[in-house]
Structure 1
Amino acid sequence: MRHNGKRTALGTASAIAAVLALAACEFGDEDGGDGGGFTEGSTPPDVTEEVAPGLVYESFSYNGEPVHMVTVAIGENHVSADVLVPDAIAATDEPSNMAEDAGAAAVINGDFFNNREDDWIGTNAPSGPMIAHNGSRQDGSGGESFVKAAVPAGQRMGPTRPESSPYESVLGFRDGTPIMTTLDLDGKVVTDGGERKLDGANQYGLPTDGIGYFDHQWGGTHFSRAGCGNEEARDAPCSDNTYTLLVRDGKVLGESTVPAVGGGEGEYALFGRDAGADFLRGLEPGDDITTDWRLVSPDGDIETAVGGMPIVRDGSLVEGLSEDEIGDDGRPENTAVRSAVGYNKAADELYMLTVGEEQGAGLSLRELGALMMEKDAVDALNLDGGGSSLLGTADEDGSIEVRNTPTDPWFLGNQREVANALAIFAAEPSGSEVSFLEGRWRGQYGNGPFDPVLEFDADGSVVRISEGAAELPEGTVRLQDDSTDEVWHFVAELEYPVPDREAVTVDFTVEPGSSAPEPQVGDVLTDSEGTEWVRESV
């Protein structure tokens, strides 16, 4: 389970005494840092603002470049992340528009995307893998899920990668917890005459001899771009042997001359190039055909994910990052405006930031990695940069305030349309799940001198732990997401009114059967340590 700050198990006299003793101490974070971690490379924040429960915005400088950062308490139950896209995979929109439509509290631009080509029009589709559910939407309708695989290495736009930054890399979320991992395509096309490996899913690039899958999620953009370039070079010539097969409800309909999929569920297109085209061309209308595919991660099921380039892994710069070339001004010459996202060792804090606000300025990738590590990130992903870099937070009316200054000129709209974005959602914290705790509970420890008391508000959202006149301050109770039907796990974060004093996190576990559904004097609550608490009042 994820927690912020110090941890103390509530259940025995000695444990609670330890919590009370902490009131006289200074508290640091569990990783031993001081929470700021400023080195000579960065300045203290000139702005610090809580923009939503669990989200703090800061602006400061790093190596002379402006930085805008949102720190997200991603370990809190009321905070979640999702990837946003427009109404199709091969489409773009401004990050603020997507975030406002979804009701997000914060947003940062996402993956590199195919927005331009030298000899043909780009598709505007993301380069890396993606699992997007498009947020909750303001109208409560929920968003459609969009899933795609990674294009071959040579087809990607963005900086050249070392081998330790796989092209299938993503920042994913598993049970709401951030994780740096990879998502690989596992798929095949099965017919009566045999089967073929599937080489692509809703992606703009295919390897030589490959077959790609496209459904209505791709949108109305032509997908013939997948027949151009190859796994070695994006600008390689287009294949002169391509074939598009339309499939509906498991049956071959025949060749399609329309370079897009207009049907809904049950209808999709298979696009083949070279030997892949020959395989599809051999099928006849009415033939049975099945296309199965999924994205797989070595780290298990991933709920949502955005692609990018790993720059920090396990607390160190990714091996093989290009060395900085230092110019006459003492600064690296390979700088750019950049966006990045990362998380701390406990995976309960997420960091989203942009750096630089002028074309040709910003940081090198190595500097960006160093900045993310300074902010306690143990894993960090470089996102699309340049004119795509954008960080925004929601105002009270739900509109997104752009925090950085995007570098696209005003006559281009200033805020660039992008293929996807990473959004954070923050509901108002609620303690309603623990209303059964209403009242005053006294711990039973025989005739010992220590006699603690728990007091909960009528909605169960406030706890006070006291011994005589000594009291810990109030804090909100949260039902944790590792709770089950057999065991409930609660955490109370106790905020001290003393300046510069960190919060203390107290956690305790109870069996649901130990409390009556309706509060009654005399109810007995037994915690995970076997300690009994008797309700004195309701």
Structure 2
Amino acid sequence: MTKRQRRFTAYRTALTLLTALGSLAGAALSGAAPAEAAPRGRIAPGVVYEHFDIQVARGTAHGHLLRVDLTDPHVTLDLLHPGKVAGRAPLSQLARTQGAVAGVNGDFFNISEAQHPGVEVTGAAVGPAVASGRALKAAVPKGQRFGPALPPGTSTRDVIGMGVDRRARLDDMALSGSVRTATGSFPLGGLNQYALPVNSVGAFTADWGSVSRVRATCGTDTNRAAPCSEDTHEVTVKDGRVVSWADDPGRGAIPAGTTVLVGREAGAAQLRKLVPGQPVKVLHELVAAASKVAYRFAVGGYPVLTGGQPLPGLDDSAVAVRSAVGIAGGGKRVLLFSLDGGSAYRGLTVAEVAATLRKLGATDAFSLDGGGSSTLVARAPGASAPTVRNHPSGGAERAVPNGIGVFVTP
């Protein structure tokens, strides 16, 4: 064999090995993906899309994954949202409008009001939300949430987010706020929420939208289906002064610089003490329990994996289509995950989602809304906008209140 032939043989052997390794990586958890599925590979610097089969005891599910490398200074994450808390849109539309290259759906949300006939469905998310460093909303009471039962020890305040230090982390975000007047002050119990705690006052800003605020006074802290309160009051504060009041919560867009205070029970009694022309200062912020670093974005859901270990008590019986997020590399690598839905595909239990993300390298993981909401979008090579990569349960995208977007700067 000549020297040239030996070099060619060595090259061909190396190429065969690399091809085999690439195939194994693409089918990380099992065998090959369906032939009609979108091609795997890098969709932007620091962002890679994969899909693969997931073998579990009761069958095979098919997963879609975005690997996001936050060590790349051109890659970042932010909240996808339609501009108003009480609003929804398909994930692909949110990503296209905001210029994201990829994303996954976000929090659970107020999707129906069968128990409260005539009450407008808000479409607002359950948990806290932060977009581009600005707090949009706080969490509803635990008994008012939509979605499956929460794992023990978790709450509606749980979030996954990315700090201004460009590290992703799990956290707990509580509302800290007050309404202050010359004669005293009282605490704020809500910010742009579809459900307020009993006996509280909530603040609604221009971020809320034009949807009715009546839903905020329905149900109780432990029973979402409880009747709407009959003891309510609403006060409008503009440029720091009370300008109007009403007994019933209203609807319509809230101008910038204006805050509408809605009270129920004892909170309504507090608001009745305010009179037109009276100076009022409304203060509110979301306070993170674990991080001292400000958040660039945060979205609600619930943790399923912390410190490399599944949370105790995760459900291992209910199979459903699901979306989730994994964190690896000390918060510098993020895994956005979603399943295929529909009758042709199998879902996973919450425990299986935690185990899957752990196998993919996550040390922490967070469950997002699932079922018909589960959607993962990514831009194809050469395309100008992201498209849906998984198979949504309903055969088409569901309008959602928010999502996690992947952005790439020049």
Q: TM-score scaled to structure 2, two decimals? A: 0.86
Matches within 5 A, 1:448-459: none
- The one-letter code sitting in structure 2 at the alignment partner of 1:297 is A
Matches within 5 A, 1:215-364: 215-256=205-246, 259-260=250-251, 262-298=253-289, 299-300=291-292, 301-322=294-315, 324-325=316-317, 334-358=318-342, 361-364=346-349
- The one-letter code sitting in structure 2 at the alignment partner of 1:365 is V
The counterpart of 1:423, out of the listed 393, 405, 408, is 405
For 1:361-413, what per-residue CA distance to the aligned partner results, in whole angstroms no more than 9, with x for missing partners?
4000000000010111111111010111000101323222211011114xxxx
1:76 lines up with 2:54 in the alignment: no
Shift of 1:287: 1.1
CA–CA separation in structure 1 for the residues paired with 2:25 and 2:360: 7
SS for the counterpart of 2:92 is helix
Structure 1 residues without counterparts, runs of 5 or longer: 1-34, 135-144, 326-333, 429-538
Shift of 1:305: 0.6
Shift of 1:48: 2.9
Contact 1:244–1:270 under 8 Å retained in 2: yes
- The one-letter code sitting in structure 2 at the alignment partner of 1:127 is V
| Aligned twin of 1:52 | 44
| Aligned twin of 1:93 | 89
CA–CA separation in structure 2 for the residues paired with 1:196 and 1:55: 47
SS for the counterpart of 1:167 is coil
CA–CA separation in structure 2 for the residues paired with 1:117 and 1:264: 27
- The one-letter code sitting in structure 2 at the alignment partner of 1:248 is K
For 1:206-253, what per-residue CA distance to the aligned partner results, in whole angstroms no more than 9, with x for missing partners?
111011000111000011101001110111111100111010111111
1:172 lines up with 2:154 in the alignment: no
| Aligned twin of 2:124 | 125
CA–CA separation in structure 2 for the residues paired with 1:86 and 1:302: 20
CA–CA separation in structure 2 for the residues paired with 1:89 and 1:186: 19
Q: Which has the higher contact order (CA 8 A, sep 6+)?
A: 2
Q: Which protein shows a greater Rg?
A: 1
CA–CA separation in structure 2 for the residues paired with 1:335 and 1:296: 34
CA–CA separation in structure 2 for the residues paired with 1:146 and 1:279: 25
CA–CA separation in structure 2 for the residues paired with 1:36 and 1:102: 31
SS for the counterpart of 1:59 is strand
- The one-letter code sitting in structure 2 at the alignment partner of 1:295 is L
Contact 1:216–1:261 under 8 Å retained in 2: no
Structure 2 residues without counterparts, runs of 5 or longer: 1-23, 34-38
1:399 lines up with 2:389 in the alignment: no
Matches within 5 A, 1:61-72: 61-63=53-55, 64-72=60-68
Contact 2:234–2:262 under 8 Å retained in 1: yes
Shift of 1:421: 1.1
In structure 2, the CA distance between the partners of 1:200 and 1:178, relative to structure 1 (3 Å rule), is same
| Aligned twin of 2:5 | none
SS for the counterpart of 2:207 is helix
CA–CA separation in structure 2 for the residues paired with 1:59 and 1:37: 7
CA–CA separation in structure 2 for the residues paired with 1:343 and 1:191: 44
CA–CA separation in structure 2 for the residues paired with 1:374 and 1:310: 16
The counterpart of 2:98, out of the listed 98, 102, 123, is 102
Shift of 1:278: 0.8
Contact 1:69–1:351 under 8 Å retained in 2: yes
CA–CA separation in structure 1 for the residues paired with 2:275 and 2:339: 55
In structure 2, the CA distance between the partners of 1:291 and 1:265, relative to structure 1 (3 Å rule), is same
Identical counterparts, % of pairs: 35
In structure 2, the CA distance between the partners of 1:225 and 1:258, relative to structure 1 (3 Å rule), is closer
Contact 2:88–2:402 under 8 Å retained in 1: yes
SS for the counterpart of 1:164 is coil
The counterpart of 1:158, out of the listed 123, 137, 147, is 147
For 1:167-204, what per-residue CA distance to the aligned partner results, in whole angstroms no more than 9, with x for missing partners?
21111111211011111100111122321110000011
In structure 2, the CA distance between the partners of 1:149 and 1:258, relative to structure 1 (3 Å rule), is closer
1:116 lines up with 2:107 in the alignment: no
Aligned-residue RMSD, C-alpha? 2.0
In structure 2, the CA distance between the partners of 1:66 and 1:38, relative to structure 1 (3 Å rule), is closer
CA–CA separation in structure 1 for the residues paired with 2:52 and 2:254: 49
CA–CA separation in structure 2 for the residues paired with 1:187 and 1:302: 18
- The one-letter code sitting in structure 2 at the alignment partner of 1:314 is G
- The one-letter code sitting in structure 1 at the alignment partner of 2:53 is S
Contact 1:75–1:177 under 8 Å retained in 2: no
Contact 2:232–2:249 under 8 Å retained in 1: no
Matches within 5 A, 1:467-486: none
For 1:120-162, what per-residue CA distance to the aligned partner results, in whole angstroms no more than 9, with x for missing partners?
332100100000139xxxxxxxxxx561100000011111113
- The one-letter code sitting in structure 2 at the alignment partner of 1:187 is G
For 1:3-23, what per-residue CA distance to the aligned partner results, in whole angstroms no more than 9, with x for missing partners?
xxxxxxxxxxxxxxxxxxxxx
Contact 2:320–2:370 under 8 Å retained in 1: yes
